[in-house]
Structure 1
Amino acid sequence: MSFTTTSPKDDFALIEDNNPDKIYAQFDQLRSKCPVAHTSETGGFWLLTRYDDVKRAASDTDTFISSVKAVIPSDPRGIRRPPLNTDPPAHTPYRTALDRTLKPARLKRLAPILVKHAQRELDALLKTNSVDDQDDDSETQASQIDISTQFGASFAAWVEVAWLNLEDEIAPVLATTAAKWVNAWRQQNAAETSAQSARLYDLARKLFADRKKSKRDPESDPASSLLLEAGPDGQPLDDELLM
Structure 2
Amino acid sequence: MISMFRSLLPGLCLLGVASIAQGQQAISPEQLLSDFSRCDAQFFQSLNTARLPAGTLDLAQYGTVKAPRILNPLQEGGRYQAFEQPLVVNGVRLVGYYNEAMSLKSAGNLLFWGFVAEGEPREVVASLKPLLVDNARLKDDRSALSRVDIRRIGDPILQWRTQGLAGGGVATPFGFVERVLSIDKGIERGPIAGRTTLFCSLQGTVTAPLLQVYRPDLNAHLLD
User: Normalized against structure 2, the TM-score is what?
Assistant: 0.25
Task: Indicate the structure (1 or 2) with the bigger Cα radius of gyration.
Answer: 1
User: Larger helix proportion, structure 1 or 2?
Assistant: 1
Greater fraction strand: 2
Greater relative CO (CA pairs within 8 A, separation 6+) = 2
Normalising by structure 1, what TM-score?
Answer: 0.24
